Amino acid sequence: LNDNPSHYKITLSGTVKSPKISFDPPFLMLMPVPLGVKTETTINIIPKNFLRKSQIQVELPELELEDGDTIYPFSVQFPGGKNIVISSDGTNKELICHISFRSSRPVSFLGNMFFIDEEKN
């Protein structure tokens, strides 16, 4: 500055926060019901560290029956939408998710549903 060479050393540090979601309740157990009757529950999806608008997608399990048939007894609805939104204070708003199960064939299932964003996280 002004023909006076000075050396400045700048040190930067930071923390990378990966986006993630958690669930309330953390696992789901649907009650047994008669064939053809729907059972359902509601869960809260709690997103954290999403820095831009994202949309949640769900990979639902398919069930293979003893006779080889495949059924898709689960359905998911997001009454408030599937978009993860950043509020004015920088936090992400929770999403409400309705999960239901209905089958006309006897079946029990223990497995996973995958909730992912556009980047497959």
> For 42-99, what is each residue's pLDDT tens digit?
999 999 988 888 899 999 999 988 888 999 999 999 999 999 988 888 889 999 999 9
Inform me whether the pLDDT recorded for 3 exceeds 90.
Answer: no
pLDDT at position 118, please?
Answer: 82
Q: Provide CB contacts within 8 A for 50, sequence distance 6+.
A: 19, 84, 86, 92, 117
Provide the domain limits for residue 101: 20-116
CATH of the domain at 93: 2.60.40
Confidence class of residue 1 from pLDDT cuts 50, 70 and 90? low
Total number of domains in the chain:
1
What is the pLDDT at residue 5?
Answer: 67
Any domain includes 4: no
Segment 22-55, tens digit of pLDDT = 999 998 888 889 999 999 999 999 999 888 888 9
Q: Residue 75 domain-assigned?
A: yes
pLDDT tens-place string over residues 12-22: 888 888 888 99
In a domain, 46, yes or no: yes
**Does some domain include residue 25?**
yes
In a domain, 12, yes or no: no
Whether 11 is covered by a domain: the verdict is no
